[in-house]
Amino acid sequence: MMKEDVAETRKLLRKAAIAGVYTTEQGDLPERTTDELLLEAIEGALHDAGLTLDDVDGIAGGRSPTDSAATAFPGYWSELLGHPVRYYSTVDAAAAAHCGNMLHAALAVASGIANTVVVIGGGSREGSRQASVEKMAYAHGEFDVSWGTLVPSWFAMIARRHMHEYGTTSEQLAEIAVSTRKWAAMHPQAIMRQPLEIADVVGSRMISDPLHLLDCCLVNDGAGALVITRADHAADLRRKPIRILGGAEDYTFRGYVDVCHDWLSSGASYTGARSLEMAGIKHNEIDVLEIYDCFTITVMRMLEDLGFCGLGEGGAFVQDGRLRPGGALPTNTHGGGLSWGHSFSGLAHAIEAVRQLRGECGERQVAGAQTSLVHSQGGPTAMHSTVVLSAN
Amino acid sequence: MNAYSKPLPIPSTLARPFWDALRAGELRLQNCRNCGRFNHPPKIVCPRCHGRDFEWKAVEPRGTIYSYTIVHRAPIPAFKAEVPYAVALVDIAGTEVRLLASLAAPLDQISVGLPVTVEFDHVTEEFSLFRFRPDFAEALK
């Protein structure tokens, strides 16, 4: 089994740094293709770093429920770049992929397999919106397809069980939608920026009880990219390098397939604890928290398992507004999948963490932000990856 | 002639005995002969003891609701006419297994912990599904 010691990984991660980030427009973009959105994101992130396509020798990512299969083939990228890709990897773990992809990219750079890896995510649904939902229904397999469940139903059952065990309320879940919207209101790219109150969330139409429409993330088109290069190289580039202090992955079980599982524990307990141990920092030293938010309950459960509060305490923990702007634990400061956009959610959270740590977030900047924990989750709380980022 | 309009499972070779048992009005689960663990979905190796010797054991078709949801927005058009409908995760009695299925119950009388029975639903001439139905008499005991 695995080594308990985190020092070796920490040492390697020090040799890599995040040098550039980019997000395309978010929204309903039927006229744009996945390939073209990803290319814009890659070039944008390289430009941000002060690099060009000529500098890229690795790609990480390139799969999501909405993307085209072509981008999962390394040769596709070699042809697009006009030179061979020497490193390619993608974690096929739905939204849990992103922090895993970042970790793998950083370790590839640290070990000398590649010099500059672009981590990508997102794409376009390309006019096949309902078709992709039907495909997803069958993808969940023989034990899920016949009952009229889809992703929201699974998270709804987690929420229902949480309510049963701990007395969690719809209003407490709604607070997560409200705090996230308050952040989105300060992001010019966010899709949903109009003010939102708890009553609006609990008054929105029910999707899968107890989850209302506004407990659910958006579904849209768009892409993003993040450049990881050698730390010594990053120091000479355009932007302040952001370091990856720690990270861990835990792909616990097959979501939607293997249901014989304790729904109130998850691999995030491991990834959170190990990432922080590797980083050598404590929960109360995290300035900005970015947690993948397909649903409000996802954030609440991950706050618990990542160790920001105890199991069952998520409702009380969020209800005082601590996740909001000005709160003690600024969370999903771009507006998350709930309000900013969900085209490549998970990586979007990491990109926002980088922008916060570089101090370039304008109105929504968390003053003096030096550290961030970013968590990617693949549903329903089945797969996890976490990174801890630092400005220093 | 298949008049059933909702999606049917595409059984895997490994899980075929599960679906065949439903057809025969039984709930059978893969059981590890080495350590006694029930595995669902069935596996090629027992995740607890790594044994490979399995049998398909008939289990009591009943359990208790672990969690549930009431679906108000159908994920695909085939379920549109049914909303709102209940779906439950049920812990099957005497096993480690939790199953997902439709829950045939008045929507205002569902709760976590409610005892249910497994009903066999012979949806086509070739294929059977199952659903849960509350056992209110058992709940009062």
**Interval A143-162: pLDDT, tens:** 988 999 989 999 999 999 99
Phi, psi values for residue A120, rounded to 5°: -125, 160
Q: Calculate how close chain A gets to B95, using CA atoms only, in Å.
A: 10
| Helix H or strand E segment including A227 | strand A222-230
pLDDT at A248 over 90: yes
pLDDT at A34 over 90: no
- Cβ neighbours of B77 in A, within 8 Å: 130
Mean pLDDT of the residues in chain B = 95
Q: What is the pLDDT of residues A311-330, one digit of tens each?
A: 999 999 999 999 999 999 99
pLDDT for A72: 75
**Single-letter amino acid code for the residue at A18:** I
Cis check: omega of the bond before A188, within 30 degrees of 0: no
CA angle, residues A81, A86, A89, in degrees to nearest 5: 95
Query: Scanning every residue of chain A, which has its alpha carbon at the shortest distance from the alpha carbon of B99?
Result: A259
CATH topology of domain A7-127+218-390: Peroxisomal Thiolase; Chain A, domain 1 (3.40.47)
pLDDT at A293 over 70: yes
Cβ–Cβ below 8 Å for B41 and A258: yes
pLDDT at A340 over 60: yes
Mean pLDDT of the residues in chain A = 93
Closest CA to A383 of A258, A226, A230: A258
CA-CA distance, B57 to B37, in Å (whole number)?
Answer: 11
CA angle, residues A23, A276, A184, in degrees to nearest 5: 30
pLDDT for A244: 98
Of the pLDDT bands very low, low, confident and very high (cuts 50, 70, 90), residue A85 is: very high
- Cβ neighbours of B85 in A, within 8 Å: 148
What mean pLDDT do residues A76-98 have? 91
What mean pLDDT do residues A372-383 have? 94
Residues of chain B with pLDDT under 70: 1-2
| Helix H or strand E segment including A211 | strand A211-212
Residue ranges covered by each domain of chain A: 7-127+218-390
Phi, psi values for residue A13, rounded to 5°: -60, -25
Q: Are strands A383-390 and A371-378 parallel, antiparallel or unpaired?
A: antiparallel
pLDDT for A126: 73
pLDDT for A129: 64
What mean pLDDT do residues A26-50 have? 94
Of the pLDDT bands very low, low, confident and very high (cuts 50, 70, 90), residue A262 is: confident
Phi, psi values for residue A303, rounded to 5°: -55, -40
Task: Using CB atoms, pick whichever of B71, B78, B82 lies closest to residue A153.
Answer: B71
Q: How far apart are the first and last CA of chain B?
A: 44
Cβ–Cβ below 8 Å for B73 and A148: no
pLDDT for A177: 98
Of the pLDDT bands very low, low, confident and very high (cuts 50, 70, 90), residue A288 is: very high
Among B13, B65, B71, pick the best mutation site for testing chain A contact (most A Cβ within 10 A).
B71
pLDDT for A128: 63
CA-CA distance, A372 to B30, in Å (whole number)?
Answer: 45
pLDDT at A228 over 80: yes
Q: What domains appear along chain B, each with residue ranges and CATH number? A: 13-59 (no CATH), 61-141 (2.40.50)
ipTM for this prediction:
0.96
Tokens of A118: 């672009």
CA-CA distance, A300 to A311, in Å (whole number)?
Answer: 10
pLDDT at A66 over 50: no
